[in-house]
A and B are shown apart, each in its own frame.
Chain A
Amino acid sequence: MHWDTVINLLVSAGLEISVLVIVSIGLAVIFGMMGIINLAHGEFLMLGAYVTLSATRAGLNLWLAMLFAALVVGLFGVVIERLLIHRLYGRLADSMLATWGLSLILAQGVSYVFGPSTQGIATPLGNVRIGAYSISAYSFVLIGAAILMLLLVLWVFKRTRYGTMARAATQLPAMATAVGVNTKRINMWTFGLGAGLAGLGGALLAPLAGVTPSMGQAYIARAFMTVIVGGTGVLTGTSAASGLLGGIQYLVSYLSNPFLGQGALLILAIVILRLMPTGLSGYWGRRL
């Protein structure tokens, strides 16, 4: 193998892994810190993509539009938490049903407002030549963005006052309340943070594929797979599961075809969950 083939393979596999991190980190925050399984996660991604689309059409710079999308979807998450989610804490099945209903409403609502047809944003930045290969420069942006999103989550939970309280509220909720942590408020911000990360994820994906009201469905299964395989540790779980699943999917796709690539991802997920029922981070005893 030539050096350029190796670099191309590494970047492409890195891209596959990064996409998994980008689509699942928001879901992981909400699941890991709150124990809520947000079935509307795919639609939060989709909303992020539509906000980016609308903002760029209104003349906003693409990169600013992406940050704007994160902010809008994050605030939307806060509103949803106040209206819907906070009534359903501790009722797992009810919260799943409610978020699933929400996902249908969002997909149909967006279809109503923006029309059902596929829209899109052209991929920015052109391409880079590496030996005999050329690689989309946007791939490097996505890899960088995935790393930054992981670092952001690390910083928020390790370095901010909110993060410390959020971890306390997850690990010992009764004690946290006893020492004066307002768990209600914490949960509101955690849900908002997860939604905001999902919005940013959707915004980052918008220039990669088509933007449609049903685009969430294309990512949601893999996002759930990543989060369940990763377990409740937001950082360790997401990064390890993305690396393993994304890596195997890319490798098998490259050696055979995308169909077997998807199959390999599913088989690996089943094997891991059989051996480590609490996911990778649960097996390692990691909480973040």
Chain B
Amino acid sequence: MIYACHLDDLPKGESIRVMADVPIAVFNVDGRLYAVDDTCTHQNASLSDGWLEGCFIECPLHEAAFDLRTGAPTCLPAKRAVRTHAVTVAEDGAVYVHAAVAQPVAEGAA
């Protein structure tokens, strides 16, 4: 379990990047929090710097998009899903990421 930030520091529509075994991006989508691996599965770019539209995050480099609920890519050029991670908010407003167990790094990952 990784402390990410205080809820006040992650307003709606915003994102932050936290370090786990790999960087993880945490998003606030209209009050619901989602976390996915931060690095786009297409090429080296940080999804926490991307364009958030509803539950979808668009990569800032090539406009690959992912569904934050499932991690699945919704359009090319991404072909592989990003991992999703559980997020919880403690009573004091602390946001925690429960990083999924590391999987073998897929071929071609940066």
A binds B: no
